[in-house]
Structure 1
Amino acid sequence: MTTAENAVGTPPRRLGLSLRGRRWPAERAGAPIVLALVLVGGAVAFGDSFASAQNLGNIALDGSYLLLIAIGMTFVILSGGIDLSVGSLLALSGVLTAYGARWGSVPAIVLPLLVCAVFGLVNGLLIARARIAPFIVTLAALLFARGLAFAVADEGNTVFIIPADLTLTRLGQARWLGLHAPVWLALLAFAVGVVVLNRTRFGQSVFAVGDNQEAAELMGAPVARVRLLVYVISAVLAGVAGVLVAAQTQSGLPTIGEGRELEAIAAVVIGGTLLSGGAGSLSGTLVGVLLLKVIQNLINQVGTLTSYYQQVVSGTFLIVVVLVQSRLARRRPR
């Protein structure tokens, strides 16, 4: 086999690129420990009101929507990018789901996912081909998608209702083994994401592109294709979350999903993925999602604190975790 053939046909990991996501467990060890401590502390402080099966199920349900978005965000951040449009895409997907439900379950699912895929494709093309900064492209997509959601909903004056007897509604509100269906679907997406990220050439290329784009290009990694596909994945998963939210609530509101993009980024960073790309894991993202949702639930248990304090605590917690991870990263051997 020639050198050129080796460069094109061999995954980046085998070519010797530094895939840091596989070699820095110390920086990710803190989040699971903190999650365990928070769970134990919540059970001791609030008893059954926190540790009951119903409350934990509600945490899992709320976390399932965020997990879907955060999975896609993990792929994007690992590749060295950022996606600010996912919250607006969730809202647009929910509105289009409720709008398409008049024609049945299939259009209600296909229409929003197709539209979200187009958004992801345009984002990816502008970033990968036109080389426009991801922040600018996805910020524009955030505004465009949110505006389109309000336009479909007649500036928010029209609320589309999904019939209760529709298959989509029954799916969104079903329970399997005590957990809501969206939780199982999010876990399925998580499992598929883990396999793709850690067991496929595409996943290895995502790490390589985020770690060192120039080196990845020299080693034959399809950099432009990878950067395009991660935005499609992110947009489609945001669309899936929107479909499930609409199915669960039987409606589509253009105001939902505000701030979800920042929450997803926070979950990914708390889970140990570097914002600079090239290092991280989906298991860490799962822990980050659970941490955010458990902390928010504990704040609700207090009762006297408003929702604004959730943002204060979450923001403070994010800064603390990032500072700790930064100190650990400086200490690890290169």
Structure 2
Amino acid sequence: MTDTDSPVRATDTARTAEEEPLGASRAERLSALGQQHGALVALIVMVLVASLTFDSFLTGDNLENMAVSSAFLAVVALGMTFVIVTGGIDLSVGSLFALGGVLAAWGSRYGTLVALLLPLAVCGLIGLVNGLLIARARLAPFIVTLAAMLLARGILLSVTDEGSTTYLVDEKSFFAHLGQDKLLGIGVPVWITAALFVLGAVVLRRSRFGQYVYAVGGNEDAAALMGAPVARTKITVYTVSGLCAGLAGALNAAWLVSGVTILGNGMELEAISAVVIGGTLLTGGFGFISGSLVGVLLLKVIQNVINQIGSLDSAYQQVVSGAFLAVVVVAQTWLGRRRRAP
């Protein structure tokens, strides 16, 4: 991971060595590094400890399973990163992920194009409506996306006859190969996720739209005064979040060769956790794409280690993830205060 996509707050004031003591400047640099790369350090430590403790951790099968299972959450977290950098939140992505998988499995009987476009169209439309209500009607993101979460679940239940029908994907179809085939020994969903993250990093860091995203999250009123299209930026990021959730669900359906209706419960919290653990501030204005990917990998490594132990049930995954998130939020707050301290 590099810090080429790490942002700079629009409200930060540049300080030179002549304007402040050398010790203070060094402390700010260390705080910034900790805030941006703390999750990467934790990931490296976890991988080293796990590889020394469990013989099966670094095996090809285990690493492949972790990579593919991480890919779907990572795509959702990618869209969530844009939303959180603007200072918003999207609670609908878990339900959109499940809905996207069901729609993709249903549409696969009509070909791969339908299997991909249908979940993108429906989930993207729901994301667009979220953005319109938040940006134009000025409703709270928490309430709007909570309602969208319930709406998406309702559509899913309607399509699957209250969850009693599971649509299957033909294992010989190109759509199934999209989820199960490998390229250079690595699953195709992993390659797709990697490409999306490269694109997302370029957009967020190097494009004018990315600067608008940071500006809106840093100070919405100031961004409006500078001429940034605040409403359009919010509408776009929520639409992107919906598209990412729908695409992740479609890829997951191709991988499982079915549209599983019970998936996605709590996935929105996992995505938010990964983004925050990766260094993006919940208050907005600060975040980077590579950090969200590191956050996803860290959560998956923790889950895998708990599974490797064997004597611990899945509840411990939630306990550890929650505790880790709390520590990260506290650390972020402390480091942010140190950076702003005169």
TM-score range, shorter chain: over 0.9
Match of 2:11 among 8, 14, 18: 18
Q: Structure 2 matches for 1:111-130, cutoff 5 A?
A: 111-130=118-137
Matched-pair contact (CA < 8 Å) for 2:10–2:214: no
Aligned residue for 1:188? 195
2:160 match: 153
Q: Does the Cα contact within 8 Å between 2:10 and 2:285 map onto a contact in 1?
A: no
Q: Say which SS state the counterpart of residue 43 (structure 2) adopts.
A: helix
The aligned amino acid for 1:170 is: H
User: Where do residues 26-175 of structure 1 align in structure 2 (5 Å cutoff)?
Assistant: 26-47=34-55, 49-175=56-182
Q: Tell me, in whole angstroms, the C-alpha distance in 2 between the residues paired with 1:323 and 1:79.
A: 20
Where does structure 2 lack aligned partners over 5 or more consecutive residues? 1-6, 14-28
Aligned equivalent of 2:206: 199
Change in Cα spacing, 1:60 to 1:19, as seen in structure 2 (3 Å) is farther
Alpha-carbon distance in structure 2 between the residues aligned to 1:87 and 1:37:
29
Provide Cα deviations, 1:139-195, integer angstroms capped at 9, x if missing partner.
Answer: 000011011111101111111111111110011101011111111101111000000
1:151 and 1:213 mapped to 2: Cα distance?
39
Q: Deviations over 1:193-245 (max 9, x none)?
A: 00000110000000000000000000000000000000000000001100000
CA distance, structure 1, for counterparts of residue 10 and residue 278 of structure 2: 23
In the alignment, residue 210 of structure 1 is paired with which amino acid?
G
TM-score between the two structures when normalised by the length of structure 1: 0.92
Runs of at least 4 residues of structure 1 off by over 6 A?
none
For residues 139 and 201 of structure 1, the distance between their equivalents in structure 2, rounded to whole angstroms, comes to 30
Give how far 1:19 is off.
6.3
| Percentage of identical aligned residues | 55
Shift of 1:51: 1.1
SS at match of 2:57: helix
How big is the alpha-carbon RMSD for the aligned residues of Structure 1 and Structure 2?
1.6
Q: Following superposition of structure 1 onto structure 2, how do residues 238-277 of structure 1 map, counting pairs within 5 Å?
A: 238-277=245-284
**Contact kept? 1:19, 1:278, Cα under 8 Å:** no
Task: Determine the C-alpha separation between the residues in 1 that align with 2:287 and 2:335.
Answer: 14
Distance 1:182 1:204 in 2: 29
Counterpart Cα distance in 2 of 1:320 and 1:187: 28
Give 1:323 shift. 1.4
Structure 2: how far apart are the matches of 1:26 and 1:300? 29
Q: 1:325 deviation in Å?
A: 1.9
Partners of 1:17 and 1:208 within 8 A in 2: yes
Q: For residues 323 and 96 of structure 2, what CA distance do their matches in structure 1 show?
A: 27
Amino acid corresponding to residue 33 of structure 2 in structure 1: P
Q: Residues of 1 paired with 2:10 and 2:113: CA distance?
A: 43
Aligned residues of 1:78 and 1:273 also touching (Cα < 8 A): yes
Report the CA distance between 1:284 and its aligned residue: 0.9
Instruction: Write the letter of the residue equivalent to 1:82.
Output: I
Contact 2:181–2:187 at 8 Å: present in 1 too? Answer: yes
Give yes or no for contact 1:19–1:279 (8 Å, CA) kept in 2: no
Q: Contact 2:130 / 2:238 at 8 angstroms: preserved in 1? A: yes
Residues 56-109 of structure 1 deviation map (CA, whole Å, 9 limit, x = unaligned): 111111110011000000000001100000000011011111111121111111
Corresponding residue SS for 1:54: helix
CA deviation after TM superposition for structure 1 residue 308, in Å: 1.0
Aligned to 2:21: none
